[in-house]
Amino acid sequence: MKVVISGYGKMGHIVEEVLREKGIEVALATEDVRAVPPALAAECVCIDFTTPDAFRANYPFIAERFKAAVIGTTGWDDLLDAVCLTFENRRTPMIYTSNFSVGVNAFFAAVVRTCQVLKGIGYVPAIEEVHHIHKLDAPSGTAKTLAGLVEKVLGVRPEITSRREGEVPGTHTVEFRCGCDRLVFTHEAFSRRGFAEGAVLAAQMTEKLEGAHNFLDLIL
């Protein structure tokens, strides 16, 4: 497998580090994915950690030119149907998620199971997320995913509180409260490394796929 890293900021550098540790070839790391030669793109998985605006502009190109794609960029939820349809029509494997951390996806599963147990007995859910001051979207994609999972089971959309502080990699807390007690679930990222590990795992998964897939659906 060969990889092109689209977006060579902090996440791009960590993805490159993980790829090299695993012996996976990094063909190119670039801030301009459109400059990747077509012949090279056709051989490579594109791992995208750019910005919402950049991904909005680039996704048709990625779907058309690349062998497969892993999309770690968030903040484009309103385009989800269009993006998935584009990759489906091209039959290009694409894996997306609001958070590629395997630990976060286990967190998602725990929250869903808790909602199933608490359904119909009066618990009120709430979500808080804290991230570094450089994060462009608020609420985070992970918080939106959590809210959607809770709403799907409990039938109520939880309130989301967002905070931006220092260099916090990402902390998400889900609370369920009633008059009798309170349950709290928290996932705290210590670094961005977990996101990169999951993205590289997803890139390896694309070899057996076709079209668009949510990472959560693939690992649960």
Contacts for 49 with CB less than 8 Å, ≥ 6 apart: 5, 6, 7, 9, 11, 12, 15, 72, 73, 199
CATH of residue 130: 3.30.360.10
Is 13 in the active site? no
pLDDT attached to residue 98 = 87
Determine the pLDDT at residue 204: 97
Residues 184 and 202 in one domain: no
Q: Per the structure, how many domains does the chain have?
A: 2
- Residues 16, 67: one domain? yes
Residues 26 and 52 in one domain: yes
Give the DSSP letter of residue 158: P
Place of tokens 């990402």: 170
CATH code assigned at 72: 3.40.50.720
Set 67, 131, 172, 213: catalytic member: 131
Same structural domain for residues 106 and 141? yes
- Contact predicate 109/200, CB 8 Å: no
Range of the domain at 10: 2-100+194-219
pLDDT at 39: 98
Residues 175 and 114 in one domain: yes
pLDDT under 50 in the chain at which residues? none
For 34-74, how does the pLDDT look when each residue is reduced to its tens digit (9 = 90+)?
A: 999 999 999 999 999 999 999 999 999 999 999 999 999 98
Residues 92 and 14 in one domain: yes
pLDDT of the residue at 136:
84
Active-site position among 67, 135, 172, 187 = 135
Could you tell me if 35 and 11 are in contact, meaning their C-beta atoms sit under 8 angstroms apart?
no
67 is catalytic: no
